[in-house]
Chain A
Amino acid sequence: NAGVTQTPKFQVLKTGQSMTLQCAQDMNHNSMYWYRQDPGMGLRLIYYSASEGTTDKGEVPNGYNVSRLNKREFSLRLESAAPSQTSVYFCASSDRATGELFFGEGSRLTVL
């Protein structure tokens, strides 16, 4: 009963390096999301995908790109990491009927 799985759980990058956060869900949900969580800021939406083949910007998309690889997988890419992108990143998927979001356990990223 995996739900939403994110990898890696921890990552340290140097400024300017690139990396991709992977996310997969096994609940057959159409919609998937990437949020970042920062102290005192709550969770802010970076990008979302309403369905396979579509992606849209959220509140804080600058510096990020996403790919909806198939219905199960939604990846987040940082092309040139900056210290301001130090955060905990959460992937989520949603049940279309109820709107409930199911979150992964998060990926803690530090950019030096």
Chain B
Amino acid sequence: QQQVKQSPQSLIVQKGGISIINCAYENTAFDYFPWYQQFPGKGPALLIAIRPDVSEKKEGRFTISFNKSAKQFSLHIMDSQPGDSATYFCAASKSSGSARQLTFGSGTQLTVLP
């Protein structure tokens, strides 16, 4: 049972273009929505995160758009660069005591062409 659905599976963008990755979730109890970036041979690292009380969060070239009613959120990478080539995972979680159990999407492999 996949609680967080991510698309597309892969994405190729020209340098300077906009990369858009979409996620949809089912559990309305989720209250934290992070995006993780993973380079080959490395562990995922937090890129940006949002909570459902805001509709958008921007950090540099990276923006999360959040639509609570549609249960969807997306990552926009503006002015995409070859160094952004990586696998991106969306995730969602609800607080469970003192631990947060993240449910991850299936990942998007982004390639930015020079």
Residues on A lying within 8 angstroms of B by beta carbon are: 4, 30-31, 33, 35, 40-45, 48-51, 56, 58-59, 90, 92, 94, 96, 99-106
Contacts and interface: CB of A to CB of B under 8 A. Distances in A.
Contacts of B45: 102-103
Contacts of B101: 45, 48, 58
23 contacts: A30-B98, A31-B98, A31-B100, A40-B9, A41-B106, A42-B89, A43-B44, A43-B102, A45-B102, A45-B103, A48-B99, A51-B99, A56-B99, A96-B98, A99-B34, A99-B49, A99-B93, A101-B36, A101-B44, A105-B43, A106-B41, A106-B42, A106-B43
Nearest to A56: B99
Contacts, number: 70
**Interface on chain B toward A: helix, strand, loop, or mixed SS?**
strand
